Amino acid sequence: MHHRSKIRQRLVTVLDAIPELTGNVEASRRYPLERGFTMAATVQTLDEASTLDIEDDEDGDGLRRTVRLQIIVSLQDGADPDTALDDIAEKIEAAIEADDILQGLVHSIRLDSTRFDIPGADGGEEQPTQPVIRVGFIYTATYFTAAADPARSY
């Protein structure tokens, strides 16, 4: 399994421990919006850059990889969506900070930005039949792998 897949899976585990998200977190680019859901999250890879870190080491070349990940939380539009989004944002940030190197999978991980989205609010997207509000968290993680084997970290 590619190392970035392991990182996504660890983030799913971290987020799934948050009571509001338990059972509704997926490492996917699809939104898991089942009828009757209250809140759900996806963990996605946005992009990744690599630079040579170790050249001609006894184990081969090594790469320093920087991956941008997006966590999208979708929730039903309720009476006070801003407070609900801020509450879940606080819990997500605290959960990731508590496991700040994702059990050794990354060298570092940091929150770069938070983006709020209300589909249909700007008129450019069709209003969903089930009103949904989304918040996206962009994280950047740095990790190191063997150049010839992206599943093997160092």
Q: Return the HEC string of 42-76.
A: EEEEEEEEEEEEEEEECCEEEEEEEEEEEEEEEEE
pLDDT digits (tens, 9 = 90+) for 89-119: 999 999 999 998 999 999 999 999 999 876 6
| Structural domain spans, the chain | 3-146
Query: Tokens in use for 139?
Result: 């994280």
What CATH class has 3-146? alpha beta
Residue pair 18/94 in contact (Cβ under 8 Å)? The answer is: no
pLDDT digits (tens, 9 = 90+) for 18-58: 999 998 898 876 655 555 667 889 999 999 999 988 766 66
Nearest to 39 by CA among 27, 22, 56, 14: 22
Question: What local confidence, expressed as pLDDT, does residue 6 receive?
Answer: 94
The kind and range of the H/E element at 14 are: helix 3-16
For the cut 60, the answer to whether the pLDDT of residue 129 exceeds it is no
Question: What local confidence, expressed as pLDDT, does residue 67 receive?
Answer: 96
